[in-house]
Structure 1
Amino acid sequence: MLVTHHRGDVDGRGCGSRASGGFFGAASWHWWSVGNGRVAFWNQRRWLRTSGGGGSSSARVPILRGKVYAINDALPADGAADDYETCLTHLVKSNVISVSAATGFPKFDLMLLGMGPDGHVASLFPGHHLVKENEKWVTFIKDSPKPPPEGITFNFPVINSSANIALVVYGAGKAGSVHAALRNSQNSDPLPVQMVSPEGELVWFLDKDAASNL
């Protein structure tokens, strides 16, 4: 999927935008190579200072400096969220990233998301007020149910303005939420993952353990 969209965007427009909404330790990051004018964005789900062993994950991606837009982990979470939204605003105005004609929010060509055992995506957790945020592009959380308590996140209007989304889920601990998301479509109180609805294609990638309840 990554390769197909890379080629399609480059052939069609000469560039493309990718966004990640979390950590994927086992991911093949070479697929995020940004040649031929492509642009990658990095929205780090958990707020980890560089001095604490976390920080910007752009070092994982073997691409040219200046083509990855990571959060500024030298700032507090609220300041980093504002700084990141300012960066996106500039890139939208510069036509580096397109805008959804339907929503007016930034439109990534492809967003890569994970899912937590509770069905959360990015830093959008079940029952948390940020799930209903519909104005800001990027916001921060200081009371995350999953440690560490602080992070920044894209909100659903930006996530769902994406042209395409890949949901990558692995591990037996997530099988229950996978089942709930894919088999309980009439849930009156949907999990955050059930609220993921891009303008184009949504593809789930599950390992055997994550799919064990299907």
Structure 2
Amino acid sequence: MSPTPEIYTFPSTDAISSALDHFLTHESAKAIAHRGKFTISLSGGSLPKVLGAEIKANKYIDWSKWHVFFADERCVPLDHEDSNYLLAKENLLDHVPIPKDQVYTIDPKLVKDPEAAAKAYQKVLAAVFGSETDIPSLDVNLLGLGPDGHCCSLFPGHPLLGVTDRWVAAIHDSPKPPKERITLTFPVVNEARINLFVANGEGKAEVLHKVLDKKEDLPSGRVTGKERLIWFLDASAAKHVTSKAQTYKL
């Protein structure tokens, strides 16, 4: 059974940053206590800035046990302005002591061959999670959504929405540049223990109404999770949402 969406609204993006700090402190400690590590995937867009604003000063997280993946990545060098890794590096990874070999980037040698890059990234997931057959279950996917309802690099109407035989897939025709990317597929996204969307700004208001209230068949609306599905929205993003929302309690 899919988890019931939990919708939390916040007065500002800064308040979301505080809530993410609190939430991930708790969830990482719980995962480390139960499984000896905390596995998380990050999206691009504005999310790394929202995440890094407060958590990078956190002295209570055991960063040595964090394993960081990317929900999707553009097929560009790691120091390219379009790189999701670069955004995460500048806003979080440069400021916290996560071991470098526990941050799993796209193979920079394969960025000109998206199919090979996707296969290589799947092998990384298999190695970290210890199985080439069992779908990996990330502790937390931190996700954003685009104005068109896409998440990761899974776009409305695209054939990748139906992929079930790969954990990571290449995309050559992204409607949003750059065209070539790799992305986690829905089997992995929905096997996560917790999927947490972060949406801020008025530009997300209409699509959130479509996803959360009207239940339109958009990629973000297909996200479930094993245990929890959570939405963190600021006031501007939530302005058209009519579904019941809660106030997050620190």
Residue 59 of structure 1: CA displacement? 2.7
On the 8 A contact 2:73/2:106 being kept in 1, the answer is: no
Structure 2 counterpart SS, 1:66: helix
Give 2:44's aligned residue: 22
Give 2:15's aligned residue: none
Hey, what's the Cα distance between the residues in 1 that align with 2:150 and 2:188? Answer: 16
Residue 73 of structure 1: CA displacement? 2.8
* Superposition misfits of 4+ residues, deviation over 4 angstroms: none
Hey, what's the Cα distance between the residues in 1 that align with 2:30 and 2:239? Answer: 33
Hey, which of these two has a bigger chunk of helix by percent?
A: 2
Asked if 1:169 corresponds to 2:206, the answer is no
Hey, what's the Cα distance between the residues in 1 that align with 2:108 and 2:72? Answer: 10
Structure 2 counterpart SS, 1:167: strand
Give the partner amino acid of 1:84: Y
Q: How many residues align?
A: 204
Give 1:179's aligned residue: 209
Query: Alignment RMSD, CA only?
Result: 2.2
Structure 2 counterpart SS, 1:168: strand
Moved more, 110-119 or 9-18: 9-18
Hey, what's the Cα distance between the residues in 1 that align with 2:31 and 2:65? Answer: 11
Residue 94 of structure 1: CA displacement? 6.9
Asked if 1:59 corresponds to 2:89, the answer is yes
Distance 1:43 1:195, change over 3 A: closer
On the 8 A contact 2:170/2:181 being kept in 1, the answer is: yes
Hey, what's the Cα distance between the residues in 2 that align with 1:145 and 1:116? Answer: 12
1:191 is matched with which residue: 218, 221, 246? 218
Residue 72 of structure 1: CA displacement? 1.4
Moved more, 20-29 or 140-149: 20-29
Which residues in structure 2 correspond to 1:45-194 (within 5 Å)?
45-50=73-78, 52-55=80-83, 56-57=85-86, 59-60=89-90, 61=93, 62=96, 63-75=98-110, 76=112, 77-93=114-130, 104-185=134-215, 187=216, 190-194=217-221
Give the partner amino acid of 2:240: N
Residue 163 of structure 1: CA displacement? 0.3
Residue 89 of structure 1: CA displacement? 1.5
TM-score computed with the length of structure 1 as normaliser: 0.86
Residue 28 of structure 1: CA displacement? 2.9
Asked if 1:207 corresponds to 2:240, the answer is no
On the 8 A contact 1:21/1:42 being kept in 2, the answer is: yes
On the 8 A contact 1:169/1:207 being kept in 2, the answer is: yes
On the 8 A contact 1:44/1:70 being kept in 2, the answer is: no
Hey, what's the Cα distance between the residues in 1 that align with 2:163 and 2:179? Answer: 19
Give the partner amino acid of 1:89: A
Moved more, 62-71 or 196-205: 62-71
Q: Gapped runs of 5+ residues in structure 1?
A: none
Distance 1:25 1:164, change over 3 A: closer
Which residues in structure 2 correspond to 1:39-50 (within 5 Å)?
39-50=67-78
TM-score computed with the length of structure 2 as normaliser: 0.74
Residue 147 of structure 1: CA displacement? 1.1
On the 8 A contact 2:72/2:153 being kept in 1, the answer is: no
Hey, what's the Cα distance between the residues in 2 that align with 1:192 and 1:116? Answer: 10
Hey, what's the Cα distance between the residues in 2 that align with 1:210 and 1:184? Answer: 16
Moved more, 15-24 or 32-41: 32-41
Hey, what's the Cα distance between the residues in 2 that align with 1:73 and 1:27? Answer: 26
Moved more, 40-49 or 169-178: 40-49
Q: Gapped runs of 5+ residues in structure 2?
A: 1-22, 242-250
On the 8 A contact 1:44/1:71 being kept in 2, the answer is: no
What is the identity percentage for the equivalent residue pairs of Structure 1 and Structure 2?
Answer: 32
